Structure 1
Amino acid sequence: MADVSTSRAIEDEDEDFNEDESLSERLVGLTEMFPESVRRACSTTGSLVSTATKTGFWLVKNILWIASSSAVILILPVVFESERSQQHEEHLQQQRQILLGPNAAVSGGNAGSLLPGMNMVPPPPMSQRPS
């Protein structure tokens, strides 16, 4: 019977102890059991990790900004120009098809010489040219 009352008294003391002490007080109490050199080393290590993380995040953020803005400035004009060139080629192919019929656009070859503004007549020989 005495053992039961003693164990209940210990449990009551543990419950009271848990309620009266906050988490920060417990952590401070735990740090006091380590020597000052260990506490200082842990504090320094934590500060270095925090600083390295912040610096690394800042560096990655700036590198990504520089890379993306450079890509927009340098690559997009090339993409737009190639797209414009492709549309121009498609337009010329449609013109050939309209002028020469559906088979001219597929066959290619000499169809390009029949575009407007292109002369089909060969130049006269040198001896017949006016001076």
Structure 2
Amino acid sequence: MTRLTHISAPAGVAPSDGYTHVVTGPGRLAAVAGQLPFDEKGALVGEGDPAAQARQVFTNMRACLAAAGGTFDDVVKLTVHLTDMAHLAEVLAVRDEFIDTARPPASTVMQVAALFRPELLLEVDALAILADDAH
């Protein structure tokens, strides 16, 4: 039994598609800083390729969650910053390789004017609720 509660259609709110409106649960809060498409040596992965950059971003996020004793199942909120909304479908397809699409986290996607380097196409941060006994 999962310890997180997903509320996809709160009363008076249209049902969501691809995200959950509200996720709650007991445990410790973990904030994962915005992850970028850099490998463990700091090299950019996937220049000009939103899917490759997204895969590296979510791989980095998985490592950050693991360091805190968690997994993507513990993520309650994702925030995706895109430099071009035209990349959304590719980025979400990669995201769906990492999350449980039957119980997706709450999510926000926004287009930003720029990230700190021009070749970066996205940045993703997360909030997770970890079991009290994690890590």
Task: Identify the TM-score tier after normalising by the shorter chain.
Answer: under 0.3
**Higher helix proportion:** 1
Q: TM-score, normalising length from structure 1?
A: 0.21
**Higher strand proportion:** 2
Larger Rg: 1
- Higher RCO structure (Cα 8 Å, ≥6 apart): 2
Q: TM-score, normalising length from structure 2?
A: 0.21
